[in-house]
Structure formats: structure tokens, C-alpha cells
Structure 1
Amino acid sequence: MSSHVSELKTKILMKIGERVSALGFSKRPVGQSFYAQTPSGRNVIHLGFVPHDDSDVDVIVNLAIRFDSVEDLMNGYRSLSKTQKSSTATVGVELGNLLGIGQKRWNLSTDLDVDRASDDIAETLIAHGIEYFKKGGKLEDVFDILRSFGGEAETLVSIPAVRYEKILAIAAVLHRWDLLPELAESASARLKEAGDLALPRFIAFSSKIMELAPRA
């Protein structure tokens, strides 16, 4: 990666940090992410970069919400390092997909591009991102959206098998043991119908979660 592209990345991270700090997020990025702590975990704004050559780079913005209780439960069954476990998120969405327009990229090749992209990203976050974090700020609400198996659920977690695992984990955290069998059966049926290769993994995960249910 050229020094020019590296400078563009650094500049937009600094500018975005200045803008999102007014929204309650950290001003300094941790890697390429900005964090806002919440009572149940944290909200995350992450900038992804796709360099094309030595002169320009695309920026992609992702939003994520982490509920520590859910991630602590799920990470107990994941082969991840301590650092990786601390960075997992419960739900997330790319900003363009949140807007319903597909992945949105901002191209940077000059300082003027950095200024324009920073303004547009900040305005989009204010108009739509903050509402996303508010809507997903309560675990019970996230659970209701995910278990609806509707389009909004797909926006929160795009990969079906992962989404279904989240549903079961959240049900366990909320002690909705009465819903577990039906949710697991419905999710398994959907994966089977789609020919999803992740079905065996999901079945194994659902069995582990079911074992946590109190004995009658």
C-alpha cells in the first residue's frame, strides 16, 4: 500500500473521529473502529478500506452492536483467541444495506475527497446510524426482530445460520426457554430447505444451547 493511500486512510479516520465523538463515540479509533460503551455492551462504527492501486481507496462503513451477555455465551463455543472474542458483535450492518441501496462506497484519491466523504458519512450516520443503534439498543427488541425471520432480521445479521444461532443464544440469555424448541426446529427447517451447508453446525450449536435449559 502506497504512502499516499495510507495518508488518505489516516486523514479520514481522524475526520470521522472528530464527527462521531459528538455522537458519543470515541474520538480516537481503535484500529479502524470507533466505540461507544453501553450498559449492555457497546456500539461500533467501523471503517473498511478497499485499495485499488497506489492512488485511491474505497471506504465502507459498518455498524455493529455488541451485547456482552450474548457474546460471552456464544464465544464459549467458539475457537477464538481472547482478543478475537472481545471484538465479536451480536448484530451488524453495512451502511448502504441499512439504507436499502446495497453496499455504499466512498472513493478517496485527494484531500477534497476525504472532506466530502467525511461530511457525507457523518450526515448519513446522524440521519440513519444513530436510529439503528437506538432501535437495536434493547436485547428484547433485537430478539423480536430476529425471531420474526423477516427481512429486517436479515439486515441485522445477514448470514442465515449465524442469525439463527444468535436467536437461540438470545433466547437463552433472556431465559425464554419455552421458545427454544420451536425456534430451533424452524431454523433447522429453513436451513435444510435452502440446502445450507451450515446445517450440521447449527444443529450442534442448538443442542448445546438446549442443554442449558433448566430441567423440569
Structure 2
Amino acid sequence: MTAEVFRTPDERFENLPGWPYEPRYVDVDGLRIHYVDEGAGDPVVCFHGEPTWSYLYRKMIPPLVSAGHRVICFDYAGFGRSDKPTDRGWYTYDRHSAIAAAVLGPLELRAATVVVQDWGGPIGLRWAVDNDDRVSRLVILNTGLFTGRVSRGFLAWRGISPPGIRICRWDPCCRVRRPPSLPMTWWPRTRHRSRPWSPRPAPRSFLCWSPPSRVRPARPRWPPCRNRWDGGRNRR
């Protein structure tokens, strides 16, 4: 791993409401990746979205564990307690997918229920297809099934959002700069430290977001999921 990496100090995660879980870590290509593994029984694997981390599922973990399930949630590289490469070009769909496989592979999961939300959809569904012998159920929340064809609305959002986010060397959440091309009418009036692009204060759940701009689909860099779901018929 040659990219410069930021690691959010552990004290940032102390005394989080509803989060008593002991952090677990696995090394993937020199990155420390965080996950929680609670309970016993048929596994439920939760893939979070952007800009949150495993904390997203804090209210789901207790009832699932009480119902006799084993719950696994992990933070993607660049999110939560996982290490954060500061090179924006490092972030790709394939890298996130490879890390998911490296984290979940050794856990010996069987008859798993896969829960996906937001960007957890393309990452988690790819893992589910690659490991269909380990997966029994899918719980698909607000997400998308990417085929390589992107809507105009998505492209418009993608064109607006990435330029304003910059990574600071010592804290990836600490700087937001408005690009000259972005009108002030589009820019948040309140820059809350934990969610600086939001016009209103955010809870502490959004602690350490790193821009995954390279993960967003852009032709021709989006073949893996497309080829998987349509047999490569739309390949260019």
C-alpha cells in the first residue's frame, strides 16, 4: 500500500449513543479495516452507504442479535473507523469490492442475509453474487442496480457534488471548499464539522466521510457490475 493514509483517532468514537460494540480489525493490503461481529446464529451482513459507516445499523443490531442472528457490519476504506487513503484516485469500485471479499471471506459465513443500502447496493450485491453459495436472502433498501447506463439526473448530481469536497491531510472531514463553478445558491449555509456539506447540523454518526468520487459510475470504468447482471451485452 503506497498511498498516504489517514486514520481517525479512536477517541472520536468514544461514548457514541447506541454503540457499545467492541471494534474488530483486519489488515487488507496495508489498510486497517474495521468491522463489528455480534451475536451467534444465521449471519446478517450489513453494507452501509455514503456518507455513513457501520453506525448506520446501530438500531438494527440489538433486535437481530436478540432474535438469534449473528450480525456483521464493516466500514469501507475511507469511512468510519477504517483507514482512509488520502489520494482520491485510489477509490474505485473494484477496490471496495475486493476489500469486502477480504473482510468477509475468512468469517466462514453460511446462509447469510445480505442487507444493502445506498452504495452498499453495488458493493454488497456483487459480493452476494460472487458468494451465492453463502447467501440465502437479500434485503435491498434504497439503492440501485447498475447496468452501465446512468440517468441524466445521476450525472447532474455527480457533476455538482464531487468538486466541492477536498481531503485535508490531518482530518478528511475538516475542509470544504466551494469550487468557482458552483453557485453560492447550491452551497450549504451551515458547515457542520461532522457533515460539512449539509445545510443543517448532523448527528455524530457522520464522523469520518471520505469522498468516493472515483467510485461513481463513469464510462468506461464501470464494467464489473454491468457484465455481471447483463452478461456484458452493453459492453463498449
Q: TM-score, normalised by structure 1?
A: 0.30
- Specify the structure having the higher radius of gyration (Cα): 1
Greater helix share, 1 or 2? Answer: 1
- Report the TM-score when normalising by structure 2: 0.28
